[in-house]
Structure 1
């Protein structure tokens, strides 16, 4: 996450590029006051990298495709469909928001997209959501309180790789990251405080 210094650049919420040695996604902290927006934007930019490479930005069809990718990536149709309500139920949607890490607005859109809600029902639901947000319900969730994703397969892949000679320092060198950062991403850092012997 990088802040932009110039005012005209600060209007950019996120961007991605694959023109560097490693694909890069940049999200601006000025626009990341909502963790659900942050996660969707990251998935949207990942969609651009996978689907479009480095085509010039601004193509509306590409934007729709990146949004569709993000929705499917964060809430896969086969997994989320059985959990979505067949009628507007904000209690259920609030629970799903926490479980899936996506906004209630995005869940309403997913219900409409999957044919669970009609267009008029979805429209009324959006209006009701706006009223609830005005009453400080479903407020933005600051990104600072979000612990981040906890990858499971990554740790398992590393454990398998160590059986074939890989090492933590070797992986850190390959990624050009610190060993501490790699340990954090692999879930190898202990939450317990470090104790020191004092003479």
Structure 2
């Protein structure tokens, strides 16, 4: 990187937003005014070498990061997350910025290693029956059958080519979300300790990727569709109808037995029963009241016996690169301008220890 190259103000804004910093916040950390940083971002001023070094250190990127324009940033219509209309603009901007940087990293990893091919079938839906058929078609497409539980929902989406991660201090405020990119990204929430809820979130995001590519989501209709897809995918109707106990009063012992077998929350089970007309509206309301009154709004009975599923794909990629060379992962990250700080923000782990002779701003790439 030569200082004669053009400083890309958009890159500064991208890194700043990824950290959730305002211009005032960043200015306070580097001793600069809001107006000056705004001028750097809009290109009306060029920073000194010392300022670039300081910005890179504070934002966890390399100096070269500011001289390479990121290609194809994530657009709002490509990001599916709940309550989008009521989410603060600052959080939306932070999600899009982190998604753009993670997508850039994943694209570079994809070019270096053979990741699973992207294999999400596409289905347009309008009715509840369309959604049921879409979920059943997906189970058939992925050879999962229609008669038993999904053993590991995390592996389902990763085997279909999605990369699953989380954004600390962000995802708990927007719930789970997915990004419609050439290799889809699913960002799970760390705020939900219950394995059943995490599985449902993954199935919900899977529904968006199957039914809503190119569709602006976040409204009641698309969220309801994704919820119905998740229910139908995790609890196929024919098998569920056979196993759900149809009685005058809700049989909680049987419902919790179903929960442990299918790894789906009791609340989702009674909703599925209501959607399939196995229970009445009054029974459904009574069931929700019971769960609320017994303190099972967020954590239900038997949540502790269902093991939470963990992402495996990115960790496998990182292990492979670390075996291939002590600086391989650092080299790839440095190639797109990510240093330790930003890398950890995006993937929740630190880069491996670097060799003494490795210079992130004078990297010689191992991969094309």
Q: How would you bin the TM-score normalised by the shorter chain?
A: 0.5 to 0.7
Where 2:294 maps in the other structure, the secondary structure is: helix
Q: TM-score, length-normalised on structure 1?
A: 0.65
Pairing 1:29-68 to 2, within 5 Å after superposition: 29=190, 31-68=191-228
Shift in alpha-carbon separation, 1:56–1:142, aligned structure 2, 3 A: farther
Aligned residue-pair number = 151
Residues 177 and 73 (structure 1), Cα distance of their counterparts in 2 relative to 1, 3 Å cut: farther
Summarize the alignment of residues 96-107 of structure 1 with structure 2, pairs less than 5 Å apart. Answer: 96-107=258-269
| Counterpart position of 1:24 | 185
C-alpha separation in 2, matches of 1:5 and 1:69: 28
**Alpha carbons 1:39, 1:102 under 8 Å: kept:** yes
- Give the C-alpha shift of residue 112 in structure 1: 1.1
Contact 2:194 2:299 in 1 (8 A): no
Q: Distance in 2 between matches of 1:56 and 1:48?
A: 10
Cα pair 1:35 1:140 within 8 Å, conserved: no
Distance 2:185 2:177 in 1: 8
Q: 2 CA distance for matches of 1:27 and 1:137?
A: 17
* Inter-partner Cα distance in structure 2 for 1:85 and 1:122: 14
Query: How many Å separate the matches in 2 of 1:144 and 1:95?
Result: 12
Give the RMSD, CA atoms, in angstroms: 3.1
Is 1:78 aligned with 2:238?
yes
Task: Report the equivalent of 1:94.
Answer: 256
Aligned-residue offset at 1:127? 1.3
Distance across 2 between alignment mates of 1:142 and 1:54: 38
- Which digits, 9 at most, give the CA deviation of each residue in 1:42-97, with x for residues without a partner? 10000000100143332221111111110000000011110001021000001000
Of 131, 150, 171, the match for 2:293:
131
Q: CA deviation at 1:137?
A: 8.7
For residues 273 and 252 of structure 2, what CA distance do their matches in structure 1 show?
12
Query: Are the counterparts in 2 of residues 43 and 69 from structure 1 also a CA contact under 8 Å?
Result: yes
Deviations 1:95-141 (A, max 9, x none): 0000000011111111111111111111112212223336x993472
TM-score with structure 2 length normalisation? 0.37
Secondary structure of 1:11's partner? helix
Structure 2, unmatched stretches of 5+, are 1-164, 321-368
Q: Is the 8 A contact 1:32 1:143 kept in 2?
A: no
